[in-house]
Structure 1
Amino acid sequence: MEYMVENADSETCANSRTYLKSVKDLDFVVCLFVVSRVFAILKPYIEMLQSKTCDSIQCYDNIQEVALHLVNLKYNDNKIDELANDLKIFSDDNDITLEIPRTNKFKTVIDYLKCIYEKFIDTTLLQLEKRFSRHQQIAVNIINLLPSTVVDTKSSDVIDVFTFYLSDLPSNNYDVVIGQFEMWQQKWKKIPERERPTNIVNTLKALVSVKAFHPNLNCLFEIFAVLPVRVATAERSFSAMKRIKTTLRNSIND
């Protein structure tokens, strides 16, 4: 962009100078720095959420760990100092002057950085809570039905998941569902612990030959196996369609 400012025609030069000034602005640099740091923590989990083979239960557990980590970062003064130091190094390397404008209510760059950092973490935590808190509770209940854990599960531990999905099950009679749960529990008590499935996919495989005896539990596991943690397929499709539309429009103009 600096090259274009010095060597391009007058219009391009003016636009480049405007863009360059914008990306070197304190507000832009601080916000970009904060967002990149927080999203660097979230990136592996975002990719996992977008995967069609994502293990929902493991995903919910990981999201909870991320939320706790972000809370710790928010109140960790050492991390704030480290972030401020990295920002200074970044600004020096890119010839960016870190000065607080007169219209800014903060006295120092560090105060401004800390405010943006804390607010962005708060917003991120709020979104995580909004998207995953209810699902987290259901996921924990599903864990109690897996063969690896069901032998020690009480009916009170899974009452919420039965109630939540009762209208979707082959039998909407609560007593029938509880009866199948108890038979399911007895079945796995006879199986050695090392041979009990520990995830939903393997549990569904184990149910293939006996699902006629446990239709409600089979339906419940099928529902949770396809329950989306976060739908990204449609978003990727929209992005792809936008590129195709742009290409076609350019082809028509040619």
Structure 2
Amino acid sequence: MASLIALFPNVIEVLQYVEEDGDNGFSRTQATGILSYLKTFDFVMYLHLMFHILQVTDLLSRALQKKDQDIVEAISLIRGTKQLLQTFRESGLDPLLKKMYSFCQANGIASLDMAEYYKKNGRRRTNITNRHYYEFDIFNTVVDMQLQEFGDRFSEVGTELLKNIAALSPCDSFSWFNVSDLLELSKFYPYDFDCMEMIALEKELNMYYVIVCQDERFADLSGIAELARLMVDTKKHKTYPLVYRLLKLALVLPVATATVERCFSAMKIMKTDLRNKIGDEFLNVALICTIEKEALLDVTSDDVVSQFQKMKTRRTQL
């Protein structure tokens, strides 16, 4: 979108060329339709609105795609992005309109007076003003959709879970360590911690914190993965088995969540309208091939032919 905003005059020029000198009537007609829409105030509104939303969420999106995920930083980015979206929802329309008017003036697009009555296709629609339409029917609707989607993806329970996991972080000499948060974390796993273990966990956490803070080997760790490895190397996973169990659960959670997300994403790709009657067995095989692409790189064509031949007796060898 940044490129479209920056190169908008060039895009218009190319479309005008296609409109006049296109190879066929279809391309010329298509260029005419696109040109007419690009020069509308509605398009300018959606362009700048979505561009701002993508700017706000870009940093969080990039952070969540990193392989070495920092949970503490992810939590702060989630909360910060939520706050910025909410602030934009409450007071972002006027600055956005200012940018839109400037863009329209620079590119020869007719601007609208927000105090006038809203017209659709040249006809007055209702007694609402342009300001009312663009604020409530477009601006608020789009931003509310983003906030709702954001809330579904990063619910309060999920954010609280991440905050509790962050209490295990050894960064900055265990500065995020908090016994209360870790006890709350254990409550998310009632099948892994019974009542007696919950009581023992609090005492074990207090002792664990005192010991690791005094041990120089635990001073410069960068994440819970390194902490788990060092606990095994120093045999502390046997001394503090409940703490180590929490570590394992914290390490498994992102992997399990990412695996489920990958499966649903792959299912959307595989089960299209043309494959709406796909069988379960074939769907499973297709999903495995889609999800485990890296593992399948080691499988040769000869391996596939050999496996196919072994499935049952055939008249001739392939």
> Normalized against structure 2, the TM-score is what?
0.62
Secondary structure of residue in 2 paired with 1:158: helix
**8 Å CA contact 1:151, 1:186 repeated in 2:** no
Judged with a 3 Å threshold, the aligned counterparts in structure 2 of structure 1 residues 171 and 98 are, in CA distance, closer, same or farther, namely same
Deviation at 1:57, TM superposition (A): 2.6
The answer on 1:177 being equivalent to 2:190 is no
Distance 2:35 2:252 in 1: 47
The answer on 1:15 being equivalent to 2:34 is no
Please name the residue that 1:216 is paired with.
242
Unaligned runs of 5+ in 1: 243-254
Deviation at 1:184, TM superposition (A): 1.5
Aligned length: 238
What pairs up with 1:151-170 in 2 under 5 angstroms? 153-154=178-179, 156-168=180-192
Secondary structure of residue in 2 paired with 1:167: coil
Distance 2:47 2:126 in 1: 18
**8 Å CA contact 1:144, 1:153 repeated in 2:** yes
Please name the residue that 2:87 is paired with.
72
Unaligned runs of 5+ in 2: 1-14, 113-117, 272-318
Secondary structure of residue in 1 paired with 2:247: helix
RMSD value, Cα: 3.5
Q: Which has the larger radius of gyration?
A: 2
1:30-74: CA deviation from partner (whole Å, max 9, x where unpaired): 122211111111112111112222212311211101211222233
Distance 2:160 2:268 in 1: 33
Distance 1:225 1:152 in 2: 16
Deviation at 1:161, TM superposition (A): 0.7
The answer on 1:33 being equivalent to 2:57 is no
Distance 1:235 1:13 in 2: 40
Counterpart pick for 2:157 among 134, 149, 168: 134
Q: Which stretch shifts more, 143-152 or 158-167?
A: 143-152
Deviation at 1:92, TM superposition (A): 2.8
AA aligned to 1:204 is: A
Judged with a 3 Å threshold, the aligned counterparts in structure 2 of structure 1 residues 158 and 85 are, in CA distance, closer, same or farther, namely same
> Normalized against structure 1, the TM-score is what?
0.75
Judged with a 3 Å threshold, the aligned counterparts in structure 2 of structure 1 residues 35 and 3 are, in CA distance, closer, same or farther, namely same
Please name the residue that 1:249 is paired with.
none
Judged with a 3 Å threshold, the aligned counterparts in structure 2 of structure 1 residues 21 and 105 are, in CA distance, closer, same or farther, namely farther
Judged with a 3 Å threshold, the aligned counterparts in structure 2 of structure 1 residues 176 and 103 are, in CA distance, closer, same or farther, namely same
1:137-166: CA deviation from partner (whole Å, max 9, x where unpaired): 122222333454489744x44322111124
Distance 1:150 1:167 in 2: 29
Secondary structure of residue in 2 paired with 1:212: helix
Distance 2:28 2:177 in 1: 71
AA aligned to 1:46 is: S
Please name the residue that 1:6 is paired with.
20
What pairs up with 1:41-190 in 2 under 5 angstroms? 41-76=56-91, 79-99=92-112, 100-101=118-119, 102-103=124-125, 106-108=128-130, 110-115=131-136, 116-132=138-154, 133-147=156-170, 148-149=173-174, 153-154=178-179, 156-168=180-192, 173-190=197-214
